[in-house]
Amino acid sequence: MVYQVYLRSFADSNGDGIGDLAGLRSRLPYLAWLGVDALWINPHYPSGGADGGYDVVDYRAVDPEYGDVADLEALVDDARRLGLRVVLDVVPNHTSDRHPWFQAALADPDSSAAARYHFAPPSDEPPNNWQSLFGGPAWSRTPDGRWYLHLFAPEQPDLNWREPSVAADFEETLRFWLDRGVSGFRVDVAYGLFKDAGLRDNPGSYAPTLFGHGPEQAMTWNQPEVHEVWRRWRAICDGYPDTMLVGEVCLADLEQVARYSRPDEMHQSLSFRLLKSPWATESFAEAVQSALDAFGRVGAPASWVLGNHDKERQVTRFGGGTVGTARARAAALLMLALPGSAYLYAGDELGLPQAAVPDEAKRDPIFFRSGGTRAGRDGCRIPMPWNASAGVGFSPEGAAEPWLPIPAEWEQYAVSRQTRDGGSMLTLYRRALALRAALPALGSGDATVGTRGDVLTVRSVGETETVRCVVNMGAGTVLVPCPGSVLLASTARVHHSAGSIALPPDTAVWVTED
């Protein structure tokens, strides 16, 4: 299981209100105790700060707010001693507008640096109809009137991957970090990089409600040339033992997503069906089955994501309060039963809800670029509550205010509290991960998915045992046959007698077959 660390919000060691590498390092024993195999750290690079670190100024350095390269090496070493691997985030689709290349390109339109971006000569209209994913047109003007392309914020100019020096530089970056012992990379916007060579208009526009980009955005994403990049990156990683590449591939068609993890490309590609599925058996079953089919065809493990730093927290998405929490607990058992790689976003193991962030404290460019019509992603990026004390132990005592405000009532979610509570979300995750590590049927079985009314079942056959995960997504209690034993339940309210289980609404169980 890969645990996603939102570095800025994980643990602050020096009291400036910002999470950092030393803070994360001090919390590694927690991650080992929880049962994590690897951690993926959101971008740690010097950044312009326009998009939570995804606007990188220097790819071979550490933002001084987070520490330095020696801190990262110490983190990797400590992690390895605890059996944890460290995966970094790499951002090849765009740089920061403060990156030396873009600065050089602004200063001189004829420079070699300018060839590394997409510029167009001054004119009244932008070169095409492309839209920024954060709202508004994907083209902005330079002070001298030229247009430049940014599929995200204007502070994130898109790189021109048809220019060979761009590729060469990223390959050096990969080696730089691999030489320092990291175990690989999560690749941001891996379905991007190349654009239509003629920069032609898109046939349609993207709606955030879709599962991912499709034919309506055919000119901006998923160009065939990008697969050659992943082949080269794969060859580099193959030179370092036990490393991996996992791509963010936000495409609607899972067959297309799976192509990014063909045997000579990345090891895994992240898809987001589960993350976007409403609480209903058909949607969940379809999400699971289509991923098993698509990834099965290329021989890659499917990846499962229920939460990340871009989406509303699960508990809230599933209805909030007791219902949302019950469903998030059940969803955890479903995800951890599935074969493949599970991704757990920091704080989801505590059942954190989406926080209401006052407008004046917001940081996300989505909020600002949508003129406040989209709430933005700050509410899922709040600092972690560690202790049930004022300040919840994110920073040392007497520290500056945290970079995003922590809701006062979050003491109830603190790690210290949940470790002592046998019924907590944290305890559930820990037990589930321990079983997953012990039983091959969980996480690496041969799975079949079935539905009956509001009940979803995943049956996983492992080498030595068969486990069924049964989820009741309906409003009434259902009777589930259970000839074997109950391994784990998402609720204490499960009654097992005479070969069957009474499974309440919004709960899940893991049962053996004999």
Q: How far is the CB of 52 from ligand NOJ (least distance, A)?
A: 6
Which of the listed partners (Ca ion, ligand NOJ, none) does 152 bind, with a CB threshold of 5 to 8 Å by partner kind? ligand NOJ
CB of 309 to ligand NOJ, least distance (A): 6
Closest to ligand NOJ by CB, 12 vs 364, is 364
Give 20 or 158: the residue with its C-beta nearer to Ca ion. 20
List residues binding ligand NOJ (CB under 6 A): 51-52, 54, 91, 152, 188-189, 248, 309-310
Among 2, 4, 12, 254, binds Ca ion (CB under 5 A): 12
Instruction: Give the dihedral of Cα atoms 270, 275, 278, 281; nearest 10 deg.
Output: 50
Q: Which does 20 bind (CB under 5 to 8 A by kind): Ca ion, ligand NOJ, none?
A: Ca ion
Piece of the chain touching Ca ion by CB under 5 A; list 4-12, 30-38, 110-118, 133-141: 4-12
Separation CA 240–CA 362 (nearest Å): 40
Q: Rounded CA gap, 205 and 130, in Å?
A: 8
Q: For residue 161, give Cα distances in angstroms to 92, 167, 168, 179, 228.
A: 9, 7, 10, 24, 11
For 290, phi and psi rounded to 5 degrees? Answer: -65, -35
Closest contact distance (angstroms) between CB of 47 and ligand NOJ is 11
Kind and range of the H or E element at 341? strand 341-345
Q: How far is it, in rounded angstroms, from Cα 483 to Cα 121? A: 72
Would you say 509 and 495 are in contact if contact means Cβ atoms under 8 Å apart?
Answer: no
Question: By C-beta, is 192 or 383 nearer to ligand NOJ?
Answer: 192
Q: How many residues bind Ca ion (CB under 5 A)?
A: 5
Nearer to ligand NOJ, 148 or 279 (CB): 148
Tell me the closest approach of the beta carbon of residue 56 to Ca ion, in angstroms: 19
Residue 104 token pair? 């050089």
Query: 16 to 45, contacts with Ca ion by CB under 5 A?
Result: 16, 18, 20
Tell me which of Ca ion, ligand NOJ, none is bound by residue 16, counting a contact when its beta carbon lies within the kind-specific cut-off of 5 to 8 angstroms. Answer: Ca ion
Residue 45 DSSP one-character state: S
Decide whether 93 or 472 has the Cβ nearer to ligand NOJ. 93
Choose between 140 and 395: whose C-beta lies nearer to ligand NOJ.
Answer: 140
User: Min. distance of Cβ 310 from ligand NOJ in angstroms?
Assistant: 5
Considering only residues 157 to 196 of the shown chain, the ones binding Ca ion according to CB under 5 A are: none
**Residue 242: how many other CB atoms lie within 10 Å:** 8
Six token digits for residue 492: 């204490």
Stretch that binds Ca ion, among 8-16, 38-46, 81-89, 351-359 (CB under 5 A): 8-16
Which of ligand NOJ, Ca ion, none is residue 340 near (CB under 5 to 8 Å by kind)? none
Euclidean distance between the first and final Cα of the chain, in Å? 27
Residue nearest to ligand NOJ as judged by C-beta position: 54
Identity of the residue, 20 or 89, whose beta carbon is nearer to Ca ion in the bound complex: 20
Least distance to ligand NOJ from the beta carbon of 90, Å?
11
Helices (H), 69-178: 69-81, 100-107, 164-178
CA-based nearest residue to 244, from 191, 177, 292, 189: 177
φ/ψ (deg, to 5) at 210: -70, 160
Q: How far is the CB of 391 from ligand NOJ (least distance, A)?
A: 26
Neighbours of 493 (CB within 10 A): 12
State the DSSP code for 407: P
Round to whole Å and give the CA distance between 332 and 432: 8
Backbone angles phi, psi at 88, to 5 degrees: -95, 165
411 binding partner (options ligand NOJ, Ca ion, none; Cβ < 5 to 8 Å by kind): none
Q: Cβ(383)–Cβ(402) under 8 Å?
A: yes
Tell me the C-alpha distance between 291 and 51, whole Å. Answer: 30
Identify residue 501 by its one-letter amino acid code. I
Give least dist CB 158 to ligand NOJ, A: 10
Shortest CB 507 distance to ligand NOJ, Å: 31
Please report how many Cα atoms fall inside a 13 Å half-sphere around the Cα of residue 485, on the Cβ side.
Answer: 2
Please choose which of ligand NOJ, Ca ion, none residue 188 contacts, taking the beta carbon within 5 to 8 angstroms, the exact cut-off set by kind: ligand NOJ
Give the length of the chain: 514
The pairing of beta strand 446-452 with beta strand 455-461: antiparallel
Q: Which of Ca ion, ligand NOJ, none does residue 54 bind to, with CB < 5 to 8 Å depending on kind?
A: ligand NOJ
Could you say which of ligand NOJ, Ca ion, none residue 14 binds, taking C-beta under 5 to 8 angstroms by partner kind? Ca ion
Contact partner at residue 155 from Ca ion, ligand NOJ, none, CB < 5 to 8 Å by partner kind: none
Which partner from the list ligand NOJ, Ca ion, none does 310 bind, CB cut-off 5 to 8 Å by kind? ligand NOJ
Nearer to ligand NOJ, 188 or 265 (CB): 188
Residues that bind Ca ion (CB under 5 A): 12, 14, 16, 18, 20
